[in-house]
Structure 1
């Protein structure tokens, strides 16, 4: 009986630890153009892939980071140009920024779905 309780408690802690470890950037987001982008772990980073819209299936980003702040590369699907990028999660909003030479930047706010 005690062994079962210990194993159940250990399992509950393990499951809670896994849920707490999920990064806030992971999930589905509505982009500024209205398309849905999925951000999911891939390798040691987070891949941004369009799930709806004109460019469905296109991978448009690769970001690394933790705790709501991420950096990497963002690709404009219209021009297929890749920029230095970053993302910052604040609740259900994600500010995505793409920059040329870190001085000419464009920012979009995405909403969690």
Structure 2
């Protein structure tokens, strides 16, 4: 009985530690158009993949960084054009920004699910 309790307590602590060590960008996000995008660790950075909608399963970006600021590439799934991108996190909001030559930029705000 005591072994079971110790095992359960240890497992709970390990799971909580893993959750706290995850980057804030990792998780599922509701995009501006209403689809769900999943951001997960891949390679040395983070991959963004659409989970729902017309382009479900399509990888639409890759980012690197940590904390509240990330940079990388964003792909428009409708026309397959790739733009330099950045992301910043404030609470449960993720501001995604894609730019052409760092002059023409568009932004969207996603919400954590």
TM-score (structure 1 length as normaliser): 0.85
Gap runs ≥5 in structure 2: 1-9
Quick check: 1:19 aligned with 2:19?
yes
Aligned residues: 107
Gap runs ≥5 in structure 1: 1-9
Describe the SS at the equivalent of 1:18: helix
Q: Distance in 2 between matches of 1:11 and 1:80?
A: 43
Quick check: 1:80 aligned with 2:80?
yes
Aligned structure 1 segments of 4 or more residues deviating by more than 6 angstroms: 10-13
TM-score (structure 2 length as normaliser): 0.85
Q: Distance in 2 between matches of 1:59 and 1:87?
A: 16
The alignment yields a C-alpha RMSD, in angstroms, of: 1.9
- Rate the CA distance shift 1:12–1:30 in 2: closer, same or farther, 3 A: closer
Describe the SS at the equivalent of 2:60: strand
